[in-house]
Amino acid sequence: MCMRIENHVIFNCDHTGISVEIIVDGKTVAAFEGEPILASLLAAGIKINRYTVKRQEPRGLFCGIGQCTDCAMIVDGKANVRTCITPVKAGMIIKTQKGLAKEE
Amino acid sequence: MSFIQTGSLDYTELASLQTLPTEERFAKGPVAILECVQEIPCNPCEASCQFGAIQIGEPITNLPSLLSERCVGCGVCVSRCPGLAIVIVNKIYSKTTATVAFPYEYYPVPETGDIREAVNRKGEVLCRGRIIKVSNPASYDHTPVVTIEIPKKFADEVRSIKRILV
Amino acid sequence: MLQKDILVIGAGPAGLAASIEAGKSGAKVLLVDLNMQPGGQLFKQIHKFFGSSAHHSGMRGFQIGTQLLEEAREAHVEIWMQSTVIGIFPGKKIGIEREAADGSKELLTIQARKIILATGASENAIRFQGWTAPGVMGAGAAQTMINVNHVLPGKKVVMLGSGNVGLIVSYQLMQAGCDVAALIEAAPKIGGYAVHAAKIRRAGVPIYIKHTITKALLDTDGCLRGCIIAQVDEHFHPVPGTEKEIACDTITLAAGLRPVTDLAKLAGCRLTYNGAFGGWLPLHNKKMETSETGIFTAGDSTGVEEANTALEEGKLAGISAAEELGLLSCEIANTQREEIWARLHSLRLGPFGERRMLEKEHILAEYASKIGISVLSE
């Protein structure tokens, strides 16, 4: 279910970025180049970004401004990437991070 | 309980905090109701009225006063109030109906002719009404002003319409 | 090492306003921010601002943001986004981790003659069982998603907190297409403006004062599916037997903000604790200078208020930094500062502002007694 806002009284919802695809845990997800990775994930209904080290509990969007690290995921092989402040690029490979995840 | 606890004014509370138009004035046609009851530094309503019907002066925390004899009920102030606290009420629209013009910033904005559920300050549905006008010019900066026709007895209570979730 | 006249840290309203004033005076200004785009809180604000016409009243926050960016460009301010300040060293050397377009990061050191800290504030967390689950987030995070990225974080929201952030974001969530099932407030009254509360009540949102969230209810995947709220007593303890369940997939926390002071601490600035302003903040004088000469501060990082006060304080800092560099005469700087303080005074009038007005006086007095440098007219 697409969670993108298509209509709004105050602002224009037209997308200015190019329509691209990213791979999230092996599945293709539609995104717009330049938007935060986290926005593309939420648009696709994906709310879990990582699991904690000790108790493997899920974490997702919390602060949205790069301060809390709850949104950290593995992006193009690099772990601990804060997806709320990292822009999407076509073909990015994103994986749900389990614990501290070694770089792949 | 006051609006400080509930978030909504009741008519008696509003009348005690603001000088509302008299019934005599209501009998002359559409007039603005300034439902602004707290001292906040804010004065765009004063500048918005080309007829000089709204007064704040200095300091700008003063509550706005309506000079109801100058008010023609044009509704520009409705779109300018950042708090969306102004409506225009016309108690003499017809023998049995009144109109309320209110700000409405939700999608979808209604269209003239639509029948909608009219709500009071608490969001309770009081009646159904017919949308008779929707104003959304560029000068309103995306604050459409919607006018609904309702039974006269609800003129002091109807302040918006129920949203439709798309 | 790169040399700059003034390094401004934080590109929100305070930082932008400071950069513009300093840039107009002829200073070489570098403005840095760790986010992807400048504007701080402004671009998330889609409602019309209060205040007077001198304070952009009636303009929507994002319109003010666009205007400021244009003014910054005209003042030849250099702006680096995705740049995190990681250290402030003696002698005003600053370490910056800058992210390039290809995602690679480089570490730079800048030598600045003056520094302006405009790092804003961050949201307080309220802890209840299950608060860490996906679906529980800061109200600001939800606001960023809907107003900047045009994406819904969820569909059915419970808002915690009735200050202006809680009230305004509830309204904006509904404008975006969400359903706000309830607004929960622990205090015995609504904290924000009556007109903001009135909007959400007209939309049928129930406001529960003297209540708190005691537990988040989770689905099998660990994500939020509802919450339990309960009445609280005068000590804010939940009252047993008053529990009520509300279905929701999102809880937004709007329980106050506190100034971000990490860099002020790193730079050795003396802090003071002020509850009215959200917590610890750097002591400063009427020129917005901290206890460290040549390091200024402005905006929410000096005490949580609003965009208009941030803009004015930013101007004070920019003017004062430019004056210290000799780019602005004492007379002109003093005149401009007096005008700004008059506007700040008018912004802090009324029942909502008077406590902040008083507390700002306390901070200035504390600076004067502890740091010993005197006021404006010297």
Q: Cβ-count burial of B94 within 10 angstroms (0-12 exposed, 13-18 middle, 19+ buried)? A: exposed
CATH homologous superfamily, domain C2-122+257-370:
FAD/NAD(P)-binding domain (3.50.50.60)
CA atoms within 13 A on the CB side of C360: 24
Q: Assess if residue A79 is contained within a domain.
A: yes
Tell me the residues of chain C between 69 and 108 that have a Cβ less than 8 Å away from chain B. none
Residues B83 and C193 sit within 8 Å (Cβ to Cβ) = yes
C66-103: pLDDT as tens digits? 999 999 999 999 999 999 999 999 999 999 999 887 77
pLDDT of residue A104: 45
Domains contained in chain A, number: 1
> pLDDT, tens digit, for every residue of A32-65?
999 999 999 999 999 999 999 999 999 999 999 8
Closest residue in chain A to residue C82, using alpha carbons only = A85
Main-chain dihedrals φ then ψ at residue A21, nearest 5 degrees:
-120, 140
Q: Which of C 165-224 lie inside 8 A of A, CB atoms?
A: 175-177, 221-223
Q: Residue C106 has what pLDDT?
A: 94
**Cα gap C300→B130, rounded to integer Å:** 46
**What value of ipTM does the predicted structure carry?**
0.97
Spans in chain C with pLDDT lower than 50: 375-378
- Write out residues 12-71 of C within 8 Å (CB-CB) of B: 47-53, 55, 57-58, 60
Cβ separation of C189 and B38 shorter than 8 Å?
no
Candidate from C62, C82, C223 with C-beta closest to A58: C223
> Tens-of-pLDDT digits for all 166 residues of chain B?
899 999 999 999 999 999 999 999 999 999 999 999 999 999 999 999 999 999 999 999 999 999 999 999 999 999 999 999 999 999 999 999 999 999 999 999 999 999 999 999 999 999 999 999 999 999 999 999 999 999 999 999 999 999 998 7
Q: Alpha-carbon distance A61 to C123, whole Å?
A: 14
- The reply to whether A69 falls in a domain is yes
Nearest chain B Cα to A7, which residue? B107
Other C-beta atoms closer than 10 Å to the C-beta of C229 total 22
Domains C2-122+257-370 and C125-253 share a fold: yes
pLDDT band at A87 (very low <50, low <70, confident <90, very high): very high
Residues in chain C with CB shorter than 8 Å from the CB of B121 are 198, 201-202
CB contact under 8 A, B106 and A10: no
| Chain B residues contacting A via beta carbons under 8 Å | 105-109, 142, 144, 166
Q: How many Cβ atoms from other residues are within 10 Å of residue B156's Cβ? A: 18
Residue A9 lies in a domain: no
Pairing mode of beta strands C257-259, C121-123: antiparallel
- Nearest Cα of chain C lies from the Cα of A49 at a distance, in angstroms, of 9
Predicted local distance difference test score (pLDDT) of residue A1: 66
Structure token pair of residue B49: 């009225």
Q: Does B119 contact chain C (CB < 8 Å)?
A: yes
Do residues C347 and C51 make contact, with C-beta atoms less than 8 angstroms apart?
A: yes
For residue C52, the model assigns a pLDDT of: 86
Short-list C6, C3, C5, C34, CA closest to C18: C6
pLDDT at residue A75, as a whole number: 96
Question: What confidence tier does A14 reach under pLDDT thresholds 50, 70, 90?
Answer: confident
Residues of B in contact with C157 (CB under 8 A): none
CB-based contact, C349 to chain B, within 8 Å: yes
C54-66 as b/e: b if 16+ CB within 10 A? ebbbbbbbbbbbe
- Whether A94 and A75 have beta carbons less than 8 Å apart is answered as yes
Average confidence (pLDDT) over A83-88: 94
Nearest-CA distance from C99 to chain A in Å? 10
User: Does residue C149 sit at the A interface (CB-CB below 8 Å)?
Assistant: yes
Sheet of C207-208, strand order? C136-138, C250-253, C156-160, C179-184, C207-208
Q: Where are the domains of chain C?
A: 2-122+257-370, 125-253
Six token digits for residue A73: 């995921």
Secondary structure letter of residue A87 according to DSSP: B
CB contacts < 8 A, A to C, total 102
CA distances from C47 to A9, A91, B80, C13 (A): 11, 36, 11, 16
CATH top-level class for C125-253?
alpha beta
Q: Report the distance separating Cα A93 and Cα A23, nearest Å.
A: 5
Q: How would you write chain C as a 3-class SS string?
A: CEEEEEEEECCCHHHHHHHHHHHHCCCCEEEECCCCCCCCCHHHCCCECCECHHHCCCCEHHHHHHHHHHHHHHCCCEEECCEEEEEEECCCEEEEEEECCCCCEEEEEEEEEEEEECCCEEECCCCCECCCCCCEEEHHHHHHHHHCCCECCCCEEEEECCCHHHHHHHHHHHHHCCEEEEEECCCCCCCCCHHHHHHHHHCCCCEECCEEEEEEEECCCCCEEEEEEEEECCCCCECCCCCEEEECCEEEECCCEEECCHHHHHCCCCEEEEHHHCEEEECCCCCCECCCCCEEECHHHHCCCCHHHHHHHHHHHHHHHHHHCCCCCHHHHHHHHHHHHHHHHHHCCHHHHHHHHHHHHHHHHHHHHHCCCCCCCC
- B58 burial level (CB within 10 Å; 0-12, 13-18, 19+): exposed
Task: Tell me the H-state helices in chain A.
Answer: 37-43
Residue-range definition of the domain harbouring residue A71: 19-96
| Yes or no, beta carbons of C223 and A47 under 8 Å apart | yes
Chain length of chain C: 378
**Rounded mean pLDDT of chain A?**
93
Whether residue A6 lies inside any domain: the answer is: no
What's the pLDDT score for residue A102? 64
Query: Within an 8 Å CB–CB cutoff, is residue A7 touching chain B?
Result: yes
Note whether C195 contacts B83, CB cutoff 8 Å. Answer: yes
Query: Which residues of chain B lie closer than 8 angstroms to C205, CB-CB?
Result: 123
CATH of the domain at A43: 3.10.20.440
Q: Report how far Cα C142 is from the mean position of its chain's Cα atoms.
A: 15
Taking an 8 Å cut-off on Cβ atoms, the answer to whether B82 and C50 are in contact is: yes
